[in-house]
Structure 1
């Protein structure tokens, strides 16, 4: 049974995500579709949904998820991203994922991920 090493919140692809790091994998899940509460976004969403319902069968996805096996991690990079955030980039054989988190959480995230890559 896998052991949960770290749970944190992050920004992935511009959306908030829950990140779970286990001793053998990284899992994350984020909202795939979200609409702000301004009138322009609501209007565009209504028009888009109406057009989609007319021309296509609707497919309502609520989350995007991914699982990255620890054995696939080839490197981990960090880079300051503004005054309060750091990007922690996980590079695998077939993918690159950027986790954007606060400076204070970035050190723990990198340390945990580095332990997986060894």
Structure 2
């Protein structure tokens, strides 16, 4: 790569490649370590963040996305235009717990 300037410059300017002066290495778009950091990042993007941008953050990120979805902390929705999944934060201020006595006051059909 050092002998081919075009390849060298292309790698050096690539956002997903880190060059330390001696060698190139891959770096993920978002530097995340675990599910809690993943949730913080998703909450920073109320308009949604593409799952493809998160896939390489750490090895089990997809499992953590599904776990966050299962407990209602995020929404995973498909974008039909691009066929990509988008992760949206679920507003934590809106979690409502309803008392069983209160539920009995409202008829269910």
TM-score category of the 2 structures, normalised to the smaller one: under 0.3
Rg larger for: 2
Give 1 or 2: higher strand fraction. Answer: 1
TM-score, normalization: structure 2? 0.24
TM-score, normalization: structure 1? 0.22
Give 1 or 2: higher helix fraction. Answer: 2
